[in-house]
Amino acid sequence: MANFRAVGERLKACRLESGMTADDVAKAIGVSRALLHRYEAGEIVKLETLEKFARVYGMPPGTLLGLGTEYLTDGFRFFERIAALEEHAERVSVVFGPLIYVLSSAEYDRALSRSLHDPQDIDPITPAESVRLLTNLERRKAIFRYRQPAMVNIVPLSSIERYLANGLAVTSDKSYAQRSELRREAAREIEHMANLIASPPMHIQIGLTRRPLPTAGYQIIHAQGRRYLVNSPFRIGEPTNLRYGVATITEDPEALEKHDRLTAVLWETALKGTDAVRELQHLIKRYSD
């Protein structure tokens, strides 16, 4: 049986991704705007109505039921979609580096806000876009701290090294003083990660891997009895990319099973506990000297 709240979230995500207004979509499928919003809030949708949504959005009806793959080409909407999934998450596995936002410190928030307004950025975001992004990220962090889902985070050491060498640098042509400050901020954030590993909250496990990984990394979200595999080119920091690429969210069992196996192998061979802390302290010292 379909989870109609999840269907509603997909309907809203598709509308936002399409760039259509609520009035446009309501007119196209022959319903009132109020009924459209009820569908997007999780009210049961008739099959014939769902087929109309699918035609408007140019996808198979099964995708709206979670039987296909969602494609998102806008980084702002992607992060908002992930926030909607995480709001109900019981367990999350993340293979990504150099860090994930929900485990970052308050100091990282301030550093990220500054990097989003770097005048040297060749593709800057607007002040309104910055507010939209930071508001959503802060909401994600608040939800994570409130719900405390079980978290496994596998971090590539190669990503940590790049972060320690460059910090949240938008471009490489920084002054010596700017580069030094960016590296100091990065070192403080990796020290924060080391502290999380040394004294982990009950629901968080972090491992460090030396294995080569896909460029994008991936995330598996367990929520309301369903599992979602997330792949995305969108990034905040190092440097930020919110405009270019295609993110995917799928419940395909084969894709999830293959990524489960990969996650198990990476976790089995990852540095953990004291070994991981020792490695991070070694890297912090190397890039601070």
Q: Which residues are within 8 A (CB) of 148 and not within 5 positions of it... i.e. 6 or more apart?
A: 201, 202, 203
Neighbours of 259 (CB within 10 A): 19
Three-state SS sequence of the chain: CCCHHHHHHHHHHHHHHHCCCHHHHHHHHCCCHHHHHHHHHCCCCCHHHHHHHHHHHCCCHHHHCCCCEEEECCHHHHHHHHHHHHCCEEEEEEECCCCCHHHCCHHHHHHHHHHCCCCCCCCCCCHHHHHHHHHHHHHHHHHHHHHCCEEEEEEEHHHHHHHHHHCCCCCCCCCHHHHHHHHHHHHHHHHHHHHHHHCCCCCEEEEEECCCCCCCCEEEEEECCEEEEEECCCECCCCCECCCCCEEEECCHHHHHHHHHHHHHHHHHCECHHHHHHHHHHHHHHHHC
Q: Is the pTM of this model over 0.95?
A: no
Is residue 229 left, alpha or beta, with left meaning phi > 0 and alpha meaning psi from -120 to 50? beta
Calpha distance 11→64 (Å, rounded): 7
pLDDT at site 160: 93
Q: Dihedral sign, CA of 149, 152, 154, 155?
A: positive
Provide the residue-wise pLDDT of the chain in tens; the chain has 289 residues: 457 787 888 888 888 878 889 999 999 999 999 999 999 888 888 888 888 888 888 777 877 877 678 888 989 989 988 998 898 899 999 998 888 899 999 999 888 888 887 766 677 788 899 999 999 999 999 999 999 999 999 999 999 999 998 888 766 667 778 888 889 999 999 999 999 999 999 999 999 999 877 667 899 999 878 899 999 999 887 677 888 899 999 988 889 999 999 999 999 999 999 999 999 999 999 988 6
Domains and CATH numbers, the chain: 4-67 (1.10.260.40), 71-288 (3.30.870.10)
